[in-house]
Every structure is written in structure tokens, then in C-alpha cells.
Amino acid sequence: MMQSVLLVAVSVLATWFIMRWFRSKPPAAKALSHEEQEIGRAKDIGTQLDGARDRASRVEIERNKLALAKAVKAALWVTESRLNFAAPELLKLAQLWGGQAKSAGKKWKPPEGVTQIEGADDPKSPWAAWIFNDHHWRIEGQTNPSIVPEELEEEISTCRVLLDQEVVLDMTISSKDRQVMWIDALTVGPWVSDLLTFAGAQKYDAQTLSSDKSARQNQKRADNIHWS
């Protein structure tokens, strides 16, 4: 009798453990169809692409920050060196040289050491070229309406300096106050001091000539004034 009771108890416990094990076992994974497998792969690829795009976007943002910092540094350097004034002022004088050299009846001498003068005194796109100290110089200008919305009525000018056919400066400035808007190209070198020195000498000569002419005109007026 006792053995029968123990056998029943053992059978009940064994049945309970087996049922518990079956209940705790996770259900067998359902086999995915071909379409479901493709959908899963597509989701995985999409997740990978999103991650790649995010990483590329962060890299691009950092690259743009560095590029902007470099452009700002160049604009500040050009402003501090006064190239935004010197180059356009030199062009304003040099663009007249070609016409002055060809004008009949005028005794005009080019600046000392300057040869092979070319240029065009065009209001919108002037340019001038010459040889000085065995180097070929060329300065080009271009005036356009501003593309900045809040400054639509203000004109901007581009000014390019080429030394021996190589662009060493390409800047965009405000036509009104010569403020540097942006720099498209800049190669710093000895040409900077050469251009500043040459431009300063030409400006001084032009001012001296203008002063002398004004003095002669004033004297002529004075000679025609007689007091009784």
C-alpha cells in the first residue's frame, strides 16, 4: 500500500516538472517566408545607411566649420594688409595707362620700369596688365549688383590679381567702402609687399601730378584777376 502511494506521488511530481518545463520553454521560432526575410534584410540595410549618413553629416559639418574659419582668416588678413584698398586703387590708375599711351598729342610717360602696358578703361569690367621687374602683372575688376538680400541696392566688386599668369588674389568687396565680403583665392608671398609698394608709389605720383595741375590752374586764375 505504501509503495503504491509513493509511486503515485512520484508520478505526479514527474508530471508537474515535465509540464513546467514545457511551459517555460520558449515557443519555437516560426519559419520566415522569403518576403519576410527580404523585408528584414532591407530594414537592416536601411539602419546601416542611416548610421552612415549621420556619420557623414557630422564629418561634413566639421569640414564646413574648418573651411569657414579658413575663409574668415583670409578675409581678415587681406583687410589688415590693406590689399582690399591697394589692388582696386592701383587698377583705377593702371586701367588708364593704355589709353594715355595711345592718346595723340599727349606726352605721357609710363611709370618708371613699366613696359608692355595693356588694359581697358571699362566702367563695369576694367583690367590692366604690365611688366615690372621681369614679372607680368594683371589686375581685373568686375562690378555687379549685390546678391545679399538686405543689400540689394549696393554694388559689389570682384578684384583678381594675377602674377605671371597665376591667380594670387581673388576677392569680392563692397564697391562703396571696400569691405571684404569673401575670398575665393589667396596665395601669400613676396608679391604682396611688391604690390603695396608699387601701388603706393603710383598713388603718390598721381596725387603729386594732380596737385601740380591744380596749382597751375589756380595760378592761371590768379593771373587773370586784376585789382584797380
Sequence-distant (6+) residues with CB within 8 A of 116 are: 129, 130, 131, 136
AA identity, residue 138: R
Task: Please tell me the predicted confidence (pLDDT) of residue 68.
Answer: 80
Task: Please tell me the predicted confidence (pLDDT) of residue 212.
Answer: 46
Task: Please tell me the predicted confidence (pLDDT) of residue 123.
Answer: 87
Q: Is 47 helix (H, G, I), strand (E, B) or coil?
A: helix
CA distance 131 to 137: 6
- Mean pLDDT in each 10-residue stretch from start to end of the chain (228 residues)? 55 61 56 66 69 68 77 90 94 90 74 92 93 96 72 78 96 90 93 93 71 54 57
Sequence-distant (6+) residues with CB within 8 A of 192 are: 81, 83
pTM, to two decimals: 0.65
Q: Are 182 and 169 in contact (CB under 8 A)?
A: no
Cα-Cα end-to-end distance for the chain: 166
